[in-house]
Amino acid sequence: MKITETHLQDCFILENDKYEDERGFFTETYNKKALEEALGKSVEFVQDNLSKSYYGVVRGLHYQKKSPQGKLVRVTKGAAFDVAVDIRKGSRTFGKWFGLELSENNNLQLWIPEGFAHGFVAMSDEVFFEYKCTNFYMPSDEGSIYWKDTTLAIDWPDIKGIKISKKDAEAEYFENSDLK
């Protein structure tokens, strides 16, 4: 497993070793010791989530206000452009974003630490997106930043026919939120 820090403080790309032959492939998707060594801290996952999305679906940018979740995310089928936004006041990368394509083919994962907003757009007909979370989901604690926020200026891929939930379409702009 190769672990690379992004330009966002504490946010890492994990590239899993993949062993392929005529039978298929094998990959280790989680190794507690390797992840904790890279992060320099203990991590305990308490919840695993799986979402299925169709081409053009945008999910996010979501975060929890008082009970933030660290997330280890990956795509097991299809491809998605995944985005993390540092919303930790006092962080040297506060208000900055990082994005990359996660796909079943590139076998990459992204570690998104507590205190980040997260979202993605589906880039293939079907996307199966898995999340390992360090805290339980609490609907009453959820916040959302508008995915096309001009202050953040996320360079989303050119996807035709965007589909978004009512909740995400009505999300706050970063500049107008209590995060600023």
Of 62, 63, 118, 146, catalytic: 62
Of 55, 63, 131, 146, catalytic: 131
Structural domain for 116, as ranges: 2-176
Rounded distance between C-alpha atoms, residue 4 and residue 1, angstroms? 10
Q: Which CATH number is 42's domain given?
A: 2.60.120.10
For residue 102, what are the β-bridge partners? 80
For residue 72, what are the β-bridge partners? 111, 132
Asked if residue 115 lies in contact with residue 87, where contact means CB atoms within 8 angstroms, the answer is: yes
Tell me the pLDDT tens digit for each residue of 12-41. Answer: 999 988 999 999 999 999 999 989 998 899
Tell me the pLDDT tens digit for each residue of 151-167. Answer: 999 999 999 999 999 99
131 is annotated as an active-site residue: yes
Give the position of tokens 């079907």: 126
118 is annotated as an active-site residue: no
Nearest CA to 149 out of 180, 124, 103 is that of 180
- Number of separate domains in the chain: 1
Q: What mean pLDDT value characterizes the chain?
A: 95
How many C-beta atoms lie closer than 10 Å to residue 155's C-beta? Answer: 9
Tell me the pLDDT tens digit for each residue of 111-149. Answer: 999 999 999 999 999 999 999 999 999 999 999 999 999
Rounded to two decimals, the pTM is 0.94
C-alpha neighbours within 13 Å on the C-beta side of residue 99: 17
